[in-house]
Amino acid sequence: MASAAPSTATDDEPTEETALETARRQLERAAAHLNVDPGVIERLRHPNQVHRVSVPLERDDGSTAVYTGYRAQHDSVRGPYKGGLRFHPGVTEAECIGLSMWMTWKCAVMDLPFGGGKGGIVVDPKDLSTDEKERLTRRFAEELRPFIGPTKDIPAPDMGTDAQTMAWFMDAYSMQEGETTPGVVTGKPPVVGGSKGRDTAPGRSVAIIAREAIDYLGWDIEDTTVAVQGFGSVGAPAARLLDDEGATVVAVSDVNGAIYDPDGLDTRDVPTHEEEPEAVMKYNAPRKLSNEELLELDVDVLIPAAVGNVLTAENARDVQANLIVEGANGPTTSAAGEIFEAREIPVVPDILANAGGVTVSYFEWLQDLNHRSWSLERVHDELETEMLRAWTAVRERVEEHDVTWRDAAYMVALERVSEAHEHRGLWP
Ligand code: NAD
């Protein structure tokens, strides 16, 4: 597969530019608005380190296969590296570097004391049995062990990995270190140090940010219609929470298509990806649409929360929504972003809107380091506080500099990272 697009790009997504190219372009765009030392920008164009490891696996049939794994560590000026590990055949070194840069900005816009990391193994997890996946994960943890740790680099789940993968990873690391070390990864099952509320956190943050944006635009949420593409970990909680807030969710979709009811869907009745995979179309809605049609519905708010690169130069002019809140990573291509800017349709970017995931990962890490678990209510309260703080910082940049929401979010992030670099300096 060609280098993937900035995010969860899969084989069926167009690949306009590599994640690294996108990340560098976004860095330059943000730098142009700020008075930052060019030496710092030059440093941020490059990852601090990229580890490439060979991961041997004994297959169930007794044969041996060797997979390539990566861990890109972009910048740690504000704290240990943080970011996901994906098991996907499209994983490349350039993609890991680009996504690690992206994590630097996401952590900085949320003001979390982390830098950006990303890694993975070039493998299709569907080709592996559960036992093989476990052995591969444990060996990968061992190969990465010198470079990671609760104060160095803290991986998390990503495409093709999940809470169970993180539990194996943590167990392998802990056994080799001679002590249980839950803080080495986040996204674990709660029983081994995971946080309550981590699973729905990215969707919750999307709903919080959408609610704030609706309010900022002077709309009444009770009169606001919403379409959500993707009804998984991000889209489903986002749709349900906005429904709870009084918005009318008129359309949601999964990979098979979309359901549409202009009077509003009962989002609690639509099965999420977790409750029953790919069953959205079973809901008894007055109309069924394609995913492409969902993106072009005449709604107030569009939330693309499935995959990357769905809003492109081809369909951006046909989008009728008045506000886009990015639930997925990288759903808007750069060309589409320019069209939305010209059409004055605000696009609230992924690095702010779906950052609830990494924020509750930070809460998980704090709970692990302190050996104390938080209630779900506390997680929700603190997430709300952090999201509102980040929203306010980005909104102020929009108002002061008259820039897009994406540029404003990158400005907040770059300002924090570059100031930290200027204070720490370059040694020697
Ligand atoms: P998920 O697998 O839980 O759900 C994805 C949903 O999208 C499913 O309903 C699936 O049927 C649908 N879908 C898949 N391919 C599609 C397609 N081509 N067209 C339309 N619908 C499609 O995934 P998720 O965890 O909700 O992730 C969705 C996006 O959000 C990804 O871009 C991911 O990187 C991003 N994200 C996830 C998290 C997280 O912690 N889960 C955090 C931040 C960002």
Q: Is 405 within a domain?
A: no
Residue 1 pLDDT level (bands cut at 50, 70, 90): very low
Q: How far is the CA of 120 from the centre of ligand 1 (A)?
A: 18
Facing residues of 73 across strands? 49, 117
Domain that holds residue 139: 47-185
Asked whether 211 and 221 are in contact (CB, 8 A), the reply is yes
Between the two ends of the chain, the Cα-to-Cα distance in Å is 41
Q: What are the pLDDT digits (tens) for 265-310?
A: 999 999 998 899 899 999 999 999 999 999 999 999 999 999 989 9
Residue 89 has pLDDT above 80, yes or no: yes
At CA 155, angle to CA 151 and CA 159, rounded to 5? 170
CATH for 146: 3.40.50.10860
**Residue with CA closest to ligand 1 atom 28:** 306
Closest ligand 1 atom to residue 253 Cα is 21
Residue 25 pLDDT level (bands cut at 50, 70, 90): confident
Asked whether 241 and 204 are in contact (CB, 8 A), the reply is yes
Sole residue written with tokens 């940049």? 397
Residues 291 and 347 in one domain: yes
Q: Is 72 within a domain?
A: yes
Residue 118 known to be catalytic: yes
Question: End of a domain among 331, 352, 373?
Answer: 352
Which pLDDT score, from 0 to 100, does residue 61 have? 98
Residues 233 and 304 in one domain: yes
Q: What are the pLDDT digits (tens) for 100-152?
A: 999 999 999 999 999 999 999 999 999 999 999 999 999 999 999 999 999 99
Q: How far is the CA of 372 from the centre of ligand 1 (A)?
A: 31
Residues 300 and 205 in one domain: yes
Residue 28 has pLDDT above 50, yes or no: yes
Catalytic annotation, pick one of 82, 106, 118, 133:
118
Residues 120 and 254 in one domain: no
Q: Is 366 within a domain?
A: no
SS3 at position 392: helix
Residues 287 and 154 in one domain: no
Residues 304 and 267 in one domain: yes
Residues 299 and 160 in one domain: no
Residues 206 and 343 in one domain: yes
Closest ligand 1 atom to residue 354 Cα is 43
Q: How far is the CA of 327 from the centre of ligand 1 (A)?
A: 8
Question: End of a domain among 305, 330, 352?
Answer: 352
Q: Is 254 within a domain?
A: yes
Question: End of a domain among 159, 185, 211?
Answer: 185
Q: What is the mean pLDDT of the chain?
A: 94
Is the distance from the beta carbon of residue 234 to the nearest atom of ligand 1 less than 6 Å?
yes
Q: Is 81 within a domain?
A: yes
Asked whether 19 and 102 are in contact (CB, 8 A), the reply is yes
CA gap 415, 417 in Å, rounded? 6
Query: How many domains does one find in the chain?
Result: 2
Residues 213 and 338 in one domain: yes
How large is the average pLDDT for residues 200-214? Answer: 98
| Range from 225-229, 270-274, 346-350 carrying the lowest mean pLDDT | 270-274
Q: How far is the CA of 307 from the centre of ligand 1 (A)?
A: 6
Q: Is 51 within a domain?
A: yes
Residues 344 and 243 in one domain: yes
Residues 204 and 340 in one domain: yes
What is the model's pTM?
0.94
Neighbours of 29 (CB within 10 A): 17
Q: Is 264 within a domain?
A: yes
Provide the CB-side half-sphere exposure for 249 (13 A, CA).
31
Q: What are the pLDDT digits (tens) for 115-129?
A: 999 999 999 999 999
Q: Is 401 within a domain?
A: no
Closest ligand 1 atom to residue 13 Cα is 18
Residues in the chain: 428
Which pLDDT score, from 0 to 100, does residue 218 have? 98
SS3 at position 51: strand
Residues 239 and 108 in one domain: no
Residue 67 has pLDDT above 60, yes or no: yes
* % of the chain beyond a pLDDT of 90: 91
Residue 11 has pLDDT above 60, yes or no: no
